Amino acid sequence: EVQLLESGGGLVQPGGSLRLSCAASAFTFSSYAMTWVRQAPGKGLEWVSAVSGTGGSTYYADSVKGRFSISRDNSKNTLYLQMNSLRAEDTAVYYCAKCLGGLGWAYFDYWGQGTLVTVSS
Amino acid sequence: EIVLTQSPATLSLSPGERATLSCRASQSVSSYLAWYQQKPGQAPRLLIYDASTRATGTPARFSGSGSGTDFTLTINSLEPEDFAVYYCQQRSNWPPFTFGPGTKVDVK
């Protein structure tokens, strides 16, 4: 069964950094694009970033561009999100999700359980 | 950026009734639209993609229709486990991949 397990969330001060990880299992990780989607408390879903299967192509929402960096290690079946210059408005549950195929097939068929990032002083 | 709007914001129905949820795009997304279900404290679940294709494990009472800018998710005969929030998402013009604000289906 496909599993995605996020880690790395927590409380961080404004301006701080955090790195999220997402460990994947039970599918050929390198064959699928991956994405991060976040959900602020009581709010809807917001796409954050996506990466191709090889890791060679990356995309970001304008709200995080220049501050967040997505990457993947296909030898470890792990997806990452490096978050710098964090702001209060970045507070959310962050989900990693698997795409149905490549980035041109960007529907998200498996999701992790989410990890909470709280940005507060 | 393509903006998705969903209506109504809340739909109050009883088990056994039919639910009709709407998603409208600010410009054509062809058939490149998905529907997700999210229950409290859980991650979203993909129900429908390419407007009308049921994802693996999606019950037949869920159906999607539409193309261009207007889409509908229909749930025939609501089951107790169907009361949740439903989001639409487009992959036509990206980045960004955008989601609608959601429709909450609650018990009348």
User: Phi, psi (5° rounding) for residue B72?
Assistant: -135, 135
Count CA atoms within 13 Å of residue A6 on its CB side. Answer: 28
Cβ atoms of B98 and B49 within 8 Å: the answer is: no
Contacts B91 to A, Cβ<8 Å: 104-107
> What's the DSSP call for residue B41?
T
Mutation target to probe the B interface, by most B beta carbons within 10 A, among A32, A46, A98, A107 is: A107
Mutate one of B1, B90, B97 to test the A interface: name it (highest A CB count within 10 A).
B97
**Residue A103 pLDDT exceeds 90:** no
pLDDT tens digits for range B37-51: 999 999 999 999 999
| Set of chain A residues whose Cβ sits within 8 Å of the Cβ of B50 | 107
Question: A5 CB near a chain B CB, below 8 Å?
Answer: no
Give the pLDDT confidence score for residue B105 in this predicted structure: 98
Task: Give the residue-averaged pLDDT of A91-109.
Answer: 94
Average pLDDT, chain A: 97
Q: What pLDDT, in 10s, does the model give residues A82-99?
A: 999 999 999 999 999 999
**Residues above pLDDT 70, as percent of chain B:** 100
Cα(B79)–Cα(A112) distance, integer angstroms: 25
Structure confidence at residue A105 (pLDDT): 87
pLDDT band (50, 70, 90) for residue B84: very high
Concatenated DSSP letters of chain A: --EEEEE--EEE-TT--EEEEEEEESS-GGGS-EEEEEE-TT--EEEEEEE-SSS--EEE-TTTTTTEEEEEETTTTEEEEEE-S--GGG-EEEEEEEESSSGGG--EEEE---EEEEE--
Percent of chain B with pLDDT over 90: 98
Average pLDDT for residues A85-114, to the nearest whole number? 95
B51: tokens are: 């407007």
Q: Which of B64, B68, B66, B72 is nearest to B92 (CA)?
A: B68
Residues of A in contact with B34 (CB under 8 A): 107-108
Identify the DSSP state of B2.
-
Confidence of residue A104 (pLDDT cuts 50, 70, 90): confident
Residue A101 contacts B where some CB pair is shorter than 8 Å: no
